[in-house]
Structure 1
Amino acid sequence: MRLSSDLQALSGRLGHDFRTPELLLRAVTHASLSSATRPDNQRLEFLGDRVLGLVMAEALLAADPGATEGQLAPRFNALVRKETCADVARALALGDVLKLGRSEMMSGGRRKEALLGDALEAVIAAVYLDGGFDAARATILRLWADRIGAVEQDARDAKTALQEWAQARGLPPPAYTEMARSGPDHQPVFTVEVRLDNGAAETATAGAKRLAEQAAARALLARMETTDD
């Protein structure tokens, strides 16, 4: 079997040349299009989730040999959660090559966060089965490189810290509003505003809504703490 041009391009973006192309085709095939002769990616998703977890655990231990389990756990969760997998999938334009049934396609399946995250885990499993653990590790570390470097900041929950700051002063929880969304479906850019009941507000822009909320909360918290001082 030879890969179609779109899957060849995906293989190039992954940095892995598949010896068994059927694995990549299966990884991008959603259950809505599966049949007796066309298996879907659900079993691969199950395996890929475990491969990703092991690679991230290894990477975090290597990056900070002195970190405690309590410090490592939130960093790990930030790297493997479905939102992060979906962000990586969008950067790969994975949604453009997914094989979906008509109903799933019509309902915007190519943009669904859970579907993108699941498909990326399936792709990781395909690389693992095709090339072994070293190949999977190399692919994951390449795709997650920037996120691993920034994980400590991402793992700090600025939204929780801001809410605790507000509650300590008798204020209601902060309100988050999506002010704008731009860019293509596979690489959207979100602008989010966070506002306190006292009128203080900040906005931030990022490639994921969650990251924009965190950035806005971090900026507002820093301003409020400076005012307290």
Structure 2
Amino acid sequence: MKLGSDLRALEGRIGHQFARPDLLVQAVTHNSVASATREDYQRLEFLGDRVLGLVMAEALLEHDRSATEGQLAPRYNALVRKEACAEVARDIGLGEVLKLGRSEMMTGGRRKLALLGDAMEALIAAVYLDAGFAPAKAMVLRLWGKRIETAEDRALDPKTALQEWAQARKMPPPDYIVLSREGPDHAPVFRIKARLQNGKEAEATAASKRKAEQAAAEALLKVLM
């Protein structure tokens, strides 16, 4: 398969030339133009999300060897969430080369956060399948760059991170359900469940409702990641 000049230019921007160009074409093909002979990027997106997660987990552990799990989790979420992927996609001009149907183009598909984030994950998977983990890791580290060093500053509180996760997947905000309130008024203990529309949920307890909600959101993010 011969790539067009736009995709050759993209190869230059990401620093990887494909031995299997069909993988790159699939990574930039939206389901609005997919067909029986033209696969879209959804399966690649599924894989790319996992590759990105492993790369970022390793990078964060290496960057701060003294950080606890509680400190690492929000940094990790800041680096792998759809907003971060879309930001990198914009940096490399991924939106300009996406293959979209007319309706998607008319509604600004090349600029949509969720679409750009999904395509970025698909591109990571395409490099992984084309050349293996080491080149995919090298590309991710190069493209994410200083974002890894500044992850602590970019990290969101768990409730905000969970809400953004849901919004990026066209879900309503999560629900927070008070399961119990025990103890005296001066020392209450709240048990709260965070639940998403897709049925995923997690519980946590804390000495205030707000802290219990934050803890439940953090627990649910760990389930999702």
The TM-score normalised by the length of structure 1 is 0.68
Query: Are 2:116 and 1:78 equivalent residues in the alignment?
Result: no
Distance 1:31 1:142, change over 3 A: same
Cα distance, 1:64 vs structure 2: 1.0
Cα distance, 1:156 vs structure 2: 5.6
Q: Is the 8 A contact 2:78 2:156 kept in 1?
A: no
Letter in 1 for 2:153: Q
Secondary structure at the residue paired with 2:32? helix
| Paired residues for 1:48-127 under 5 Å | 48-127=48-127
Deviations 1:108-166 (A, max 9, x none): 10010000000000000000000100000000000011100111111165xx8xxxxxx
Letter in 2 for 1:72: L
Query: Are 2:34 and 1:34 equivalent residues in the alignment?
Result: yes
Letter in 1 for 2:148: I
CA distance, structure 1, for counterparts of residue 50 and residue 101 of structure 2: 27
CA distance, structure 2, for counterparts of residue 149 and residue 107 of structure 1: 35
Query: Are 2:9 and 1:9 equivalent residues in the alignment?
Result: yes
The TM-score normalised by the length of structure 2 is 0.69
CA distance, structure 1, for counterparts of residue 63 and residue 93 of structure 2: 29
How large is the Cα RMSD of the aligned pairs? 1.3
Match of 1:46 in 2: 46
Please, which runs of 5 or more residues in structure 1 have no aligned partner?
A: 161-229
Q: How many residues align?
A: 159
Q: Percent identity?
A: 72
Deviations 1:51-94 (A, max 9, x none): 00000000001111111100000000000000000000000110
CA distance, structure 2, for counterparts of residue 153 and residue 46 of structure 1: 28
CA distance, structure 1, for counterparts of residue 137 and residue 152 of structure 2: 21
CA distance, structure 1, for counterparts of residue 15 and residue 147 of structure 2: 18
CA distance, structure 1, for counterparts of residue 102 and residue 54 of structure 2: 35
Secondary structure at the residue paired with 1:95? helix
Letter in 1 for 2:98: L
List, as ranges, runs of 4+ consecutive aligned residues in structure 1 with deviation greater than 6 Å.
Answer: none
Match of 1:137 in 2: 137
Letter in 2 for 1:6: D
CA distance, structure 2, for counterparts of residue 25 and residue 79 of structure 1: 25
CA distance, structure 1, for counterparts of residue 22 and residue 105 of structure 2: 22
CA distance, structure 2, for counterparts of residue 46 and residue 132 of structure 1: 16
Match of 1:153 in 2: 153
CA distance, structure 1, for counterparts of residue 38 and residue 130 of structure 2: 18
Distance 1:106 1:44, change over 3 A: same
Secondary structure at the residue paired with 1:2? coil
Letter in 1 for 2:62: A
